[in-house]
Amino acid sequence: MYNIDSYGFEKIDNEYFYDGSLGAIYTTQNTIFRVWSPMATNVMLNIYNKCTDTKAQHIFKMEKKEKGVWECIVDGDLKNKYYTYTVCDKSGEEETIDIYAKSAGVNGIKGMIFDSNDTNPDDFYTHDTSHIVGKDKAILYELHVRDFSSDDNANFIYKGKFKAFTEENIKNSFGDEVGLEYIKNLGITHIHLLPVFDYATSDESSVMPKYNWGYDPLNYNVLEGSYSINPYDGLSRIREFKELVMSIHKKGMGVIMDVVYNHTYHGYDSCFSRIFPHYYYRHFGGYYSNGSGCGNEFASERAMARKYIADSLCYFAKEFRLDGFRFDLMGLIDIDTLNYCSEQLKQINPNIILYGEGWTGGDSPLQYHNQAVKSNAIKVPNYSFFSDDFRDFVKGNVFDEKNCGYINGDNEKTFEVVKSLLCGGIYNPNVNRGIEYCWSDDPMQSVNYVEAHDNYTFHDKLRLSMIFADEKEIIQVDKLGAVLVFLSQGLPFIQAGQEFLRSKFDGHSYNHNSYNSPDSINSLKWNNVTKYKELVEYYSGLIKIRKKFYEFRMKTAEEICNKITFNDIKYGAFIMNIDDFSLIINPLAEDIHIDTQKVEVYIDDKKASENPMYTLDNHITVLPKSAMLVKRI
């Protein structure tokens, strides 16, 4: 227990805020080391020859400079050596990796001194990214590095590694194309990777490190070693991640990085705590508070913590030419910090896509009005938010496996909300949903999804909530859900493999939290691309429709309110009209019949196409649990 008031963080911020460069600043002539630790009584710099050495090759005493910065300039070429700091204060001394380290040796224990030019694939800073679209045209695809290539039914060489993303001509056992080329052909514009920064719980020294999603941050500015070919060489992970980025860019897609600045895996003995005890964390009742549900929460609102997050994001955006960031538990980051970061990031990449989870993992001492939760979305206009409304109203609550939503049985209670969700969650007077439920007036702030890495996959949720359904019916309802995801205003998001009925069935039960489950549960089962070809083509067709017609990705609430109207049919079945388009949605177990003038059909229960598939003259029949998109001609 600590008397936190005695630390006076506000006073520290006022007196010691330092706006310069921190970390190891390398040139061939010398390396400048700079660490901010205003309350330390002494700081030593330890240089190691190899990351596995236990004895330092050199130890230097650092000099206290202005604003609580300790500095040491070491002459000579320290390239590819490793380093740590030993920070001494009243309570003792601790050796630690630098929080500003940009690479590390195995398991992230020692930082690395290196020349970033040595990590660049040819053309890395010149390859063209001008074709990568912005938020208004994005189709997001959430993918774990290891899940991408760990399935034995695909011929990857570099299974589970960054390098698998550079492999071409990947086929499944049926000889069908899978891997990156497949994802591109599906129509995806951005691959959102689960954490690729250095996380704690996979032993990088193991030949087969244990699987983890990676929401257990160890070193924010270092990449995860277990995804590299050589985790003992800190250059390997950087070079190979740059190859990954370039390979995805060359397929015309962007790369979005999942960042977890809300907590660290270690608390009182994290690198942050070792460099400056208590400063980087929020407190409650004398201890680190637990708004993350993971034992601590990062105090983003403190001046040097804010600078840290901004520096970290800018480093990744610039050094790796990233196209966006997804923020874990964004509700724990304060609004001023997020706005400061988006200003900085937009200077690096005006098209950058920023979104996150607008909630926390528990109570936080951060004042509610300053939390980037969904209900404060309007205060962080450059960020979009996962729409848990969309997720839960469309197919049932994620925390109750049997609970149904609009498409799987609960149509009558939910259809007005679903209309609102189709409008991107903005307030539309044509819809019977109160303004108090509409958390943004910018449709692009709504990330629309029914499946992500958390909770049951869409398929598994449908299975559990539709216990009498056969596979044909599950696929039909899956298609209806996909229509809602891709033809709603806002940002469409799917988890990798959702388009081929991704399941986390382990032989006994459906896994809803596979964060450390083996590859056999988590891997993308690439043979299902062939097995569920019709469904994959349906998803691809929906994506093409969205890309082709602006009507399904309008930019403002005003356009949406002006253009979209609804007609109710019965029991929650309805028609959404946009210009000459009518999307007829039938969640019922019976046919719907509508008289019409002549129309072209773009979507029916079997197919979705960006070109009209056939015309109907005076009558439309919409089959049970399906949608039709028609256009008047």
For the annotated catalytic residues, the residue numbers are 328, 357
Instruction: Report the C-alpha gap between 173 and 309 in whole angstroms.
Output: 44
Instruction: Report the C-alpha gap between 153 and 355 in whole angstroms.
Output: 33
- Closer to Ca ion by CB, 138 or 196: give it: 196
Q: 229 to 248, contacts with Ca ion by CB under 5 A? A: none
Q: Are 308 and 99 in contact (CB under 8 A)?
A: yes
Least separation in angstroms between residue 144's CB and Ca ion is 15
- Closer to Ca ion by CB, 198 or 451: give it: 198
- Closer to Ca ion by CB, 114 or 456: give it: 114
Q: 414 to 453, contacts with Ca ion by CB under 5 A? A: none
Instruction: Report the C-alpha gap between 85 and 99 in whole angstroms.
Output: 10
Candidate segments 172-180, 195-203, 269-277, 394-402, binder of Ca ion by CB under 5 A = 195-203
CA distances from 295 to 12, 26, 219, 265, 270 (A): 24, 35, 17, 8, 12
Which long-range contacts (C-beta less than 8 Å, at least 24 apart) are formed by 597-602?
597/632, 598/632, 598/633, 599/630, 599/631, 599/632, 599/633, 600/630, 600/631, 600/633, 601/628, 601/629, 601/630, 602/545, 602/629, 602/630, 602/631
- Closer to Ca ion by CB, 209 or 490: give it: 209
Least separation in angstroms between residue 297's CB and Ca ion is 21
Candidate segments 11-19, 178-186, 197-205, 453-461, binder of Ca ion by CB under 5 A = 197-205
Least separation in angstroms between residue 145's CB and Ca ion is 12
Q: Binding residues for Ca ion, how many (CB under 5 A)?
A: 1
Candidate segments 172-180, 193-201, 530-538, 554-562, binder of Ca ion by CB under 5 A = 193-201
Least separation in angstroms between residue 257's CB and Ca ion is 15
Residue for token digits 């382990």? Answer: 506
Least separation in angstroms between residue 378's CB and Ca ion is 37
Q: Are 259 and 251 in contact (CB under 8 A)?
A: no
Least separation in angstroms between residue 231's CB and Ca ion is 8
Which long-range contacts (C-beta less than 8 Å, at least 24 apart) are formed by 557-563?
557/424, 557/426, 557/427, 557/428, 557/441, 557/442, 557/443, 560/423, 560/424, 560/426, 560/428, 560/443, 560/489, 561/423, 561/426, 561/428, 561/429, 561/430
Candidate segments 194-202, 264-272, 467-475, 476-484, binder of Ca ion by CB under 5 A = 194-202
Least separation in angstroms between residue 209's CB and Ca ion is 8
In the structure encoding, which two tokens stand for residue 56, read together? 């330092």
Asked if residue 198 binds Ca ion (CB under 5 A), the reply is yes
- Closer to Ca ion by CB, 151 or 198: give it: 198
Report the phi/psi class of residue 347: left, alpha or beta, with left for phi > 0 and alpha for psi in -120 to 50.
alpha
Candidate segments 169-177, 192-200, 206-214, 551-559, binder of Ca ion by CB under 5 A = 192-200
Closest residue by beta carbon to Ca ion: 198
String of contacts with Ca ion for each residue 145-184, x by CB under 5 A:
----------------------------------------
- Closer to Ca ion by CB, 147 or 198: give it: 198
DSSP per-residue letters across 457-517 = -HHHHHHHH-TT--HHHHHHHHHHHHHHHHHSSSEEEEETTGGGT---B-SSSB-S--TT-
Least separation in angstroms between residue 317's CB and Ca ion is 22
- Closer to Ca ion by CB, 198 or 410: give it: 198
Instruction: Report the C-alpha gap between 333 and 299 in whole angstroms.
Output: 8
Candidate segments 191-199, 398-406, 444-452, 560-568, binder of Ca ion by CB under 5 A = 191-199
- Closer to Ca ion by CB, 265 or 359: give it: 265
Site residues (CB under 5 A) for Ca ion? 198
